[in-house]
Amino acid sequence: MARRRRHASGRHPAGVGAAIGLLAGIGGVVGLFSIVAPAVAAQWPTLWLQAISGVRKLQLWAAGPPLNIRDEELNNWINQAIAYVQEHSGELVTQALSLGGSLGNGIVTLLLTLVLTFFFLKDGTRFVGFTRRIVGRRAGFHASELLTRLWLTLSGYIRTQAIVSLADAFFIGLGLVILGVPLAMPIAILTFMAGFIPMVGAVTAGALAVLVALVTNGFTTALLALGLVVLVQQLEGNLLQPLLQSRVMKLHPAIVLLAVLLGGTWAGIIGAFLAVPVAASVAVVLRYLGELVDLRTGDRTAADIEWVTDDGHTIAHQSERSGAVFRALLRRRTAEVVEELTDPESGDGLPRREAGWLRRLTLRGPENRPADETLTEEPPADERSSEDRAD
């Protein structure tokens, strides 16, 4: 019956939807490469001839002032490079094999990433329930709300990175078209894809754009392309990206820049890539703990806070009620202590004026106490006892 109702309602199993989404993503990447490859193949003969001409122009330019590099010196450098390769051929072969091993590891990692992506798409909503069963019912409310917030934050980071990469690709591609550099569209697509790799991706794509401009259009165009790439990447890295990420992840732009700087210093490229998501995740956890404290102290109510799950609403009202009960018990116990301390039959009772001030302060909860009044403030000067003023 359940199967017939599922087919009758037009719904499909989660695995089918996950497979379709994963295949759509792979198809998008393949589609981008299908745009790049024909364009490069069509312009490759012309690009090769222009590259040869560009190299020859560079040789002529280097032979003139101020470098004055003669052909004999250039040939000597080439011969020295060949001799170095021959002498260190064993090390180069070892490095090549190591590179091949790294490539194999990269392929395995890519396959594992695809498999994990499939399971996250298929059973992503079940992980929260699984976590709730592990940590228990009450802690599960917190886990559900907190994990959902973390997921939304990381999703916002990926969307922001995609927008920044798209802006880089658009402006660099447009500038290359204006400069008349060939392969502008393929370079723009590669710039977009490389934008997801921090630091190295942007530098590699920019270097490729400058190199193509150098060998095809000459030194002046290459300098203009270099200025274009540096300008776009500086605006993106110091203005657009911090603003978007701070708005999506509710972090100050200075925190974003500081996180990237510290992450890159401590862990290199991987650290720079993970710095902003980690900082945003820490901020989400601290913000959530602060909201729970505010609910228990009565500084905020459940309606004042934006909750993303039903479990969050539940735990908010529970925290609000338990905080109110705790504050009521605390005020009652404090009042009892004050009464004991101000008992005239007691030999160590407080002076009348200070006792009155303390009683008024402790019997009022956060709901009625002025915002600028705290439990640690000193009694007014006119309410101090005559004995204190005499001292």
Residue 217 contacts residue 183 (beta carbons within 8 Å): no
d(CA 305, CA 289): 12
pLDDT score for 297: 86
Question: For the chain, what are the domain ranges?
Answer: 14-69+101-248, 310-365
Report pLDDT for 9.
44
> What per-residue confidence (pLDDT) applies to 347?
47
Distance CA 279, CA 294 (A): 22
pTM: 0.62
Q: Nearest to residue 118, comparing CAs of 23, 12, 11, 30?
A: 23
Per residue in 34-64, pLDDT tens?
776 776 677 667 767 766 776 677 767 776 7
- Per residue in 296-352, pLDDT tens? 888 888 888 888 888 888 888 888 888 888 888 888 877 777 676 666 555 455 555
10 Å Cβ neighbour count for 170? 14
- The CA-CA-CA angle for residues 185, 188, 191, to 5°, reads 155
Low-confidence residues of the chain, pLDDT below 70? 1-15, 17-18, 21-22, 32, 36, 39-40, 43-44, 47, 50-51, 54-55, 59, 63, 67-69, 71, 74, 85-86, 88-90, 92-93, 95-107, 109-110, 114, 118-125, 197-200, 338, 340-391
Query: How far does CA 184 lie from the centroid of its chain?
Result: 29
Count of CB atoms within 10 A of residue 33's CB?
Answer: 13
Instruction: Record the tokens describing residue 260, joined without a space.
Output: 């990237």
- Tell me how far apart the alpha carbons of residues 356 and 338 are, in angstroms, rounded to a whole number: 9
